[in-house]
Amino acid sequence: MRSSIPLLSLAATCAQAGVVSVGFSRQTVDHSSAITKRDTLDLTAVNNITGGGYYAEFDIGTPGQKLSFLLDTGSSDTWVNSVDTDLCNSDELQAENGFCQETFKPSDSSTFEVVAKGGFDITYLDGRHIKGDYFNDTVTIDGKAIKNQKLGLATKSVRPTGIMGLGFDTNVAAPRKYPTILDNMVSQGFIDTAAFSLYLNDLNADSGTILFGGIDTKKFVGNLSTLPLVADFQSTSDNVTSFTVKMQGLTVNTKKGSDDVKLQNINANAILDSGSTICLLPDSQVQDIYQAFDIRTVSGVNVPFVDCAYAKSKGDGISFDFAFKDKTIQVAMDQMVVNSFASVQDQIMNDPQLSQVFDGWEGACMFGIGSASDYGVDDDSFALLGDTFLRSAYVVYDLANQQIGIAQSNIDTSDSNIVSLKASDTALPSVTGVSSSETNDNDNAGERLHAGPALMVSAMVAVGVALFMM
């Protein structure tokens, strides 16, 4: 089986006034799994084919080497796979972890400088461990060079591409914090303040938009609600180190209304994490949801499975309502059903072992909510909201003021109206999105504002499907 993940180039300009014009290109990357080397499908292969995510491309070094990066709000380091990475020089390791895309060759960059030999060492929530060096080099985004940017150079890796960490500098893996790419965008004059907005679009779209330094009022419905960031579950103080907000509840609505799923109360600190494909919730709520929709699991595979029919008429009228202060984000059932296994459905349904697990189903799809306890987190105050939530939300990440803005996403729109964010503002602009979308009408919209002079960087990103907890 060959699985192709489309990538769109990260494009940016430094505008002196007005709205930045963004160009993008689309590439197809061979991300085949070990299934191509097997006569039958086994559980290891099922794990392998869940690779993917939201990716952007930009240049590293002088002259620039174009590389692909997973965009991750759940981490802060940006790193690349070295040409000498163990993964990218081993067919066996790539068969287990996915086939490498472009790698970085330090000797080809005249501005490359190692600053911490062996100092890069990071472990993600899903247990993936990356090791190597820290180096300084130039990051070029559409001809605009961010100089002396500290990056990780992976020499031991389990990921086919690098990651662009979009989090706070206090959360980097280094012993001492250093300026992230976002920080240096501000200090080197590309944007006015450390903030960006993220529009992933819906599950069937192949692209979304990230705006550094701006908000697009055409990409959300109604008003933006501002939520203060809070310390996450790992913190031993009140210091903010991640995009964590108070989640006040979750309601599951069904077709008839009277059959709504009864969940235990949830009052959690939820991390907004674009590097994670699914959401993680406390186990007690998850088990209630699994029972209601016959979600099944397979021993040895951290993937919750759902009947693919729920993405069609079987899921009509079912939604998951995530409640925050002054805002509820509604996620339709079809956005929770991820067909990660489309190319191997026949193998799954005909496999002697797996066919018994999924007997009576139209097909085996990945469900968009998992149990935090499967990842070693048994704290009922913990939640992680990944792409299956974020596709339905428009989120503004304001690092400078330690807050986020959130609204219902206006999916499937190519319209754009950009408002710049200013360093002098401690509150998000009082802007209003569209009055309604085809699928949501949760807020009343007022007069729309037009973009003023802006100094921002924008990027177009593309979607794959993944089970990465970054």
- Strands 249-253 and 319-324 turn out to be antiparallel
User: Which runs of consecutive H residues, i.e. helices, occur in 376-460?
Assistant: 387-390
- Token output for 205: 């779209």
Point out which residues pair with 201 in neighbouring strands.
none
Peptide bond into 106 cis (omega under 30): no
Quote the distance between the C-alpha of residue 423 and its chain's center: 26
Q: What is the DSSP secondary-structure string of 29-53?
A: EE---GGGG-SS--HHHHHHTT---
Q: CA 41 to CA 348: how far, in whole Å?
A: 7
Per-residue confidence (pLDDT) for residue 379, from 0 to 100: 86
Per-residue confidence (pLDDT) for residue 260, from 0 to 100: 74
Per-residue confidence (pLDDT) for residue 258, from 0 to 100: 59
Per-residue confidence (pLDDT) for residue 5, from 0 to 100: 31
Q: CA 14 to CA 59: how far, in whole Å?
A: 16
Point out which residues pair with 409 in neighbouring strands.
220
Q: What is the 3-state secondary structure (H, E, C) of 280-335?
A: EECHHHHHHHHHHHCCEEECCEEEEEEEHHHHCHHHCCCEEEEEECCEEEEEEHHH
Q: What is the 3-state secondary structure (H, E, C) of 162-228?
A: EEEECCCHHHCCCCCCCCCHHHHHHHCCCCCCCEEEEECCCCCCCEEEEEECEEEHHHEEEEEEEEE
Per-residue confidence (pLDDT) for residue 407, from 0 to 100: 97
Q: Which of 40, 41, 52, 38 is nearest to 3 (CA)?
A: 52
Q: Which residue matches tokens 């290891």?
A: 44
- Token output for 46: 């099922």
Determine the 3-state secondary structure of 88 from DSSP: helix
- Token output for 258: 């009277």
Q: CA 362 to CA 175: how far, in whole Å?
A: 50
How does pLDDT run along the chain (470 residues), one tens digit per residue? 222 233 333 333 333 322 222 222 223 233 233 223 223 333 333 333 334 578 888 899 999 999 988 888 989 999 999 999 999 999 999 988 888 989 999 999 999 999 999 999 998 777 788 999 999 999 987 677 899 999 999 999 999 999 999 999 999 999 999 999 999 989 998 889 999 999 988 888 777 888 888 899 999 999 999 999 998 876 667 889 899 999 999 999 987 765 678 787 888 999 999 888 889 999 999 999 999 999 998 877 778 999 999 999 999 999 999 999 999 999 999 999 988 888 788 888 888 888 888 989 999 999 999 998 888 888 888 999 998 999 999 999 999 999 999 999 999 898 989 898 999 989 999 999 999 875 444 443 333 233 333 333 444 344 333 344 45
Q: CA 19 to CA 386: how far, in whole Å?
A: 29
Q: Are 430 and 445 in contact (CB under 8 A)?
A: no
Q: Which residues contact 20 (CB under 8 A, 6 or more apart)?
A: 12, 13, 214, 418, 454, 456, 457, 458
Q: Are 77 and 172 in contact (CB under 8 A)?
A: yes
Q: Are 308 and 363 in contact (CB under 8 A)?
A: yes
CA distances from 23 to 44, 141, 261, 458 (A): 39, 12, 45, 10
Point out which residues pair with 337 in neighbouring strands.
367
Q: Which residues contact 299 (CB under 8 A, 6 or more apart)?
A: none
Per-position b or e across 40-72, b if 16+ CB within 10 A of its CB: ebbeebbbbbbbbbbbbbbbbbbebbebbbbbb
Backbone φ and ψ for 173, nearest 5 degrees, come out as -80, -15
Q: Which residue matches tokens 């980097």?
A: 172
Determine the 3-state secondary structure of 343 from DSSP: helix
